[in-house]
Amino acid sequence: MHSSSLAGLDERITGCRACPRLVAWREEVARTKRAAFADWTYWGRPVPGFGPSDARMLVIGLAPAAHGGNRTGRMFTGDRSGDVLYAELHAVGLASQPTSVSADDGLELYGVRVTSPVHCAPPGNKPTPGERDTCRPWLVQELRLLRPTLRSVVALGAFGWQAALTSLAEAGWTVPRPRPAFGHGRRVSLDGLELFGCFHVSQRNTFTGRLTPEMLRDVLRTAAQAAGLPAEP
């Protein structure tokens, strides 16, 4: 799983077939589709990270959505979670536009990259521990390639937080023992990197008000400032 560039890593990720359950599910969803997207040709493959190769900040989610990233081929693109995330990235000056509807919509990210610990859409949005562990080397290698510039990480949800800590440790950062627990707004200083916890941008959180746009914006702005990126007030 070693690649000398992020572009090479992303290309290799899109060809992965390591987890039979995830391969079957992502391809079944791509065949049957959702009625609202009947005219789409679904991506139906692993979804690579999105953003510049010299990113100073990384947002780590959970996995692509069946009719979001699995349809469009880009992280957090074409679903309600992405609507929330990219609107707030745009609000703090880290994205060229507030919407993310397709891979060719012209969206650019400034100094920030978005990825996930599991690159295939899982049934019920729940990858198994084995699938998570099988996919981890991709994130570890992504972190290694980003290390020269990476200064902050935002982990969305407890799954993203645990995956971030494990992968950062494997990629060479010194992670505290015992490992710090997840919490919204939690900040942990590693060697040369700041890790932030944030509730996931799932509809379960955003529709109930557990995560408001203002709460998300505050975490993104603080993480951007920690990374030395210009952030809008």
Q: What is the mean pLDDT of each run of 10 residues along the chain (233 residues)?
A: 85 97 96 89 97 98 96 97 97 97 97 98 95 97 98 98 98 95 98 96 96 98 97 80
Q: How much is the pLDDT for 216?
A: 98
Pairing of strands 193-198, 152-156: parallel
Q: How much is the pLDDT for 119?
A: 98
**pTM for this predicted structure:** 0.96
Pairing of strands 187-190, 112-115: unpaired
Q: How much is the pLDDT for 170?
A: 97
Q: Is 178 exposed, middle or buried (0-12, 13-18, 19+ CB in 10 A)?
A: exposed
* Proportion of the chain in helix, strand, coil states, percent, rounded to 5: 40, 10, 50
Q: How much is the pLDDT for 2?
A: 65
Gap between the Cα atoms of 44 and 19, Å rounded:
14
